[in-house]
Amino acid sequence: MFILIGLAVLIFILGIRVISQWERGVVFRWGKYYREIQPGLTWVIPVIDSIYHIDMRIRTMDVIPQEVMTRDSVPTKIDAVVYYKIFDAPRSVTAVENFAYASTLLAQSKLRDVVGKYDLDTLLVTKDKIGNEVLNALQTPTDEWGVNIRSVEIKNIEIPDNMKRAMAKEAEAIREKRARLVKASAEEEASKMFSEAARIASENPNALILRQLQTWQEIGAEQNSLIILVPTDFARIVNPNKS
Task: Write down the H helix ranges in 96-227.
Answer: 99-115, 120-125, 127-143, 161-203, 205-223
Residue spans in the chain of domains classed CATH 3.30.479.30: 59-159
Residue 86: strand, helix, or coil: strand
- Output the tens digit of pLDDT for each of the chain's 243 residues: 778 888 888 888 888 889 999 999 999 999 899 999 999 998 888 888 889 999 999 998 888 888 888 888 788 888 889 999 999 999 989 888 888 888 888 888 888 888 888 888 888 888 888 888 888 888 888 888 899 988 888 888 888 777 777 777 877 888 888 888 888 888 888 888 878 777 776 766 666 666 666 676 666 666 566 666 655 554 455 455 554
**Residues with Cβ within 8 Å of residue 82, at least 6 apart in sequence:** 60, 61, 63, 103, 104, 107, 138, 149, 151, 152, 153
> pTM for the complete prediction?
0.64
Class of domain 59-159: alpha beta
Residues facing residue 41 across a β-bridge: 18
